[in-house]
Structure 1
Amino acid sequence: MMDSPNPTWLSNIGTSMTFLDDINDSCGTLSVIARITARALPKALGKVLLGPAGWALMAADIAQIGMTLMRAPLTRLMKKSTLS
């Protein structure tokens, strides 16, 4: 059998983007749950949860930036609009 003419990074990019999307989803959900829990707890305990909630939200944003950067070569290769 012949190998695929696609480069290996292009063949594996779907798996990497799925992994980053899973990180984005889990960190975003963790951040929302931590903020809701912080509202329900007394003020002193709620402040303890707001720090990790912010870090989780930042991790979700970093994963989103990674997905955007990984999607950029595909839009050029497939000649798709960047707004779609």
Structure 2
Amino acid sequence: MIAVTSSDKPDFRFGKRNKSSPLCPVSPRELECIRWASFGKSAEEMAEIMGTTPTAVRAALNRAGIKTGCYGRPALVGKALREGWIE
């Protein structure tokens, strides 16, 4: 069992634009997966937290990678942080 505290709750910016952040091209679910990946969670841990399967988590991360041109979790998380899609 994985404990999730309120400080672990993702802060999403899907569809929002600010001065330093372009419009986020990924879905809210994909962004949630990226956020949990930024905490170092495995697909299995993310699936348990999000109430889905590890296969669905991997598919969401793969789709996000295709949409952003980033392949691999480190590149995807780095881009999301740089672009301001996650904090």
TM over 0.5: no
Structure with the greater alpha carbon radius of gyration: 1
User: Which TM-score applies when normalising by structure 1?
Assistant: 0.32
